[in-house]
Structure 1
C-alpha cells in the first residue's frame, strides 16, 4: 500500500510515517519507480507507535513493543521488554510529578505570603488552609469564570446583570429586629440598637481570598461576583459617606467572624463586618437568598437604616465595585433634616 493509505489507516500524518521510517521503526520496500510500498504488517506497527506516543512514551522507545508484535505476539506488551518499557515511563512520570508538586508547593507558599502580607492574621498553613469557617469550601469557588487565581479586585466586563425580582419590595419601613451579631471588632452589634441617624449596612454573599479559586459557575450567577470590589469601594468612600450623614457603615454576610476579620485586615477596611452564619436577618426580615454549593447565601443588597427602621433599600446591586458611590449619591440627594 502507498504511504497515504497507511497513514489514513493508522490515524497519523504522512509526515509522521516518514519520521518513523527515518528511525528504522518501519521499513517499506521500494518499487521500481521509487515509491514506498508498505505491507499489511506495517499498519499495526504505525498504530502502536501512535498509541504509545499518546501515553508519553517517546517514539524512539517504542522499539520493544514493535519487536514484540514482529515476533508474532498478539499484543505489543505481551513481552517482558515491553513491561520494562512501561515501568521506565511510569518512573519518569513519577519523578516529574514529584518535581512539579514540589515546585507548586513553593509557588503556593510565595502566593500566600504575598496575599497575607498586609494582614495581621497568620498565614494559613497547608493543613489549615481553606478551613476558615462555615463557607470555607467556597475557597475553591472561582471569582472570575474559568481563570484560576483571578484578580478579586476587578470585575470582568461580561458579568450577568441581576434583575429586580421584587424580593426586597417589602423592606422599606420595617423596624429592625432584635438581632445581635458578632463584629470583627470583637463586640456584639444589635441591629435594633444602631442609634439615631442613618447607618449603611451592605449585605453580600461571600468574599474570596487571593490565594484560592472560586468554583466554576460563580460568575454566571447574576449579582454573585464582586464582594471584594464592593468592600474596597465602601472603603474608598467611607469618609464621604460619613460626611454625607451616615452614622456608620457595616458589611454583613454569613461567613464567620474569623474569616471576615482577615478580609478587614487585608483590605484595610475602616469599618466592621457583621457575621450572621444562621442567616437570622434573612429569616426575620425576609431578605433574599440563593443556594450555591450546598450552602444558602445572602443576595447582595444594601439597607439604609434610620432611627431603627429601614429607610431605603438598594436591590439589586450592580455593579458592585461602584455601589458605595451609588449609596453616596442617594444620601446626598436625600439629606437628613
Structure 2
C-alpha cells in the first residue's frame, strides 16, 4: 500500500489552470511558478527547526509534521534520478522565513532552494492542506509535479517523508 495518495488530478493531467504566485527563494530570486518550463517537483513541509531550538509545542501530537530535514534530505539523495526522469528543477516550500530556510539549506547542504510561502499565497491558491500549532499556520507535507507551470498531480498525505521522493519517481516513470 502506498503511503502517499494523489488527491489532485484530472483527466487531462492538468489541475491548476490558474496562474500560480511567484515565491522568493533562498537564492534571493523570485520564482514565478507559472512560468517554470518543463517538469518541476515542489515538496511542501512545515518548517525547519534551527539547531538548539526546542520544537514548537504541540508537534508531538501531530507527529507527521516533524521537522522537514528528512524529507529535504531524501529529495537531495535522489536528485540525479529525478533529473534523469526529466525533472528540470526542484524546490522545497514552507511557510517559514528566508533566514530559517537559508540556515536549513546551508546546514543540510541541500542542492536545491527553498521557497517561502510565508503569506500563504500558494497555499490559498491551491487550497493546500495546512495545520496550526501555537498560532502558526504551517503547510502539511506534500509533493507536487508541475509541467510548464501547471500542477499535474499532488501527493498527500505523506506519512513517511523519506519515501516521498520514491513515490514521485514512480509516478514520473509510470
Question: Is the structural similarity TM-score above 0.5?
Answer: yes
Counting helix residues as a fraction of each chain, which structure ranks higher? 1
CA positional deviation for 1:242: 0.7
Q: Match for 1:228 among 46, 69, 72?
A: 69
Q: Match of 2:30?
A: 188
The 5 Å alignment of 1:65-84 reads none
CA positional deviation for 1:283: 1.4
CA positional deviation for 1:324: 1.2
Q: Match for 1:298 among 114, 124, 139?
A: 139
Q: Separation in 1 of the partners of 2:9 and 2:129?
A: 11
Residue 153 of structure 2 is aligned to residue 318 of structure 1: no
Q: Separation in 1 of the partners of 2:135 and 2:27?
A: 29
1:255-278: per-residue Cα shift (whole Å, max 9, x none)? 111210111111110011001111
Q: Match of 1:256?
A: 97
CA positional deviation for 1:302: 0.9
Structure 2 residues without counterparts, runs of 5 or longer: none
Given that residues 226 and 321 in structure 1 are in contact (C-alpha distance below 8 angstroms), is that contact kept between their aligned partners in structure 2? Answer: no
Q: Match of 1:272?
A: 113
Counting strand residues as a fraction of each chain, which structure ranks higher? 2
**Inter-CA distance 306–218: structure 2 relative to 1 (3 Å threshold):** same
SS of residue paired to 1:223: helix
**Inter-CA distance 215–163: structure 2 relative to 1 (3 Å threshold):** same
CA positional deviation for 1:218: 0.7
Q: Separation in 2 of the partners of 1:295 and 1:216?
A: 11
Given that residues 205 and 297 in structure 1 are in contact (C-alpha distance below 8 angstroms), is that contact kept between their aligned partners in structure 2? Answer: yes
Given that residues 4 and 167 in structure 2 are in contact (C-alpha distance below 8 angstroms), is that contact kept between their aligned partners in structure 1? Answer: no
Given that residues 46 and 67 in structure 2 are in contact (C-alpha distance below 8 angstroms), is that contact kept between their aligned partners in structure 1? Answer: no
CA positional deviation for 1:194: 0.7
Given that residues 4 and 158 in structure 2 are in contact (C-alpha distance below 8 angstroms), is that contact kept between their aligned partners in structure 1? Answer: no
Q: Separation in 2 of the partners of 1:214 and 1:295?
A: 13
Residue 157 of structure 2 is aligned to residue 289 of structure 1: no
Provide the aligned length of Structure 1 versus Structure 2. Answer: 169
Higher relative contact order (CA 8 A, sep 6+): 2
**Inter-CA distance 222–237: structure 2 relative to 1 (3 Å threshold):** same
Q: Separation in 2 of the partners of 1:289 and 1:312?
A: 18
Structure having the higher Rg: 1
Q: Match of 2:52?
A: 211
SS of residue paired to 1:260: helix
Given that residues 176 and 308 in structure 1 are in contact (C-alpha distance below 8 angstroms), is that contact kept between their aligned partners in structure 2? Answer: no
CA positional deviation for 1:332: 1.7
1:108-161: per-residue Cα shift (whole Å, max 9, x none)? xxxxxxxxxxxxxxxxxxxxxxxxxxxxxxxxxxxxxxxxxxxxxxxxxxxxxx
The 5 Å alignment of 1:25-44 reads none
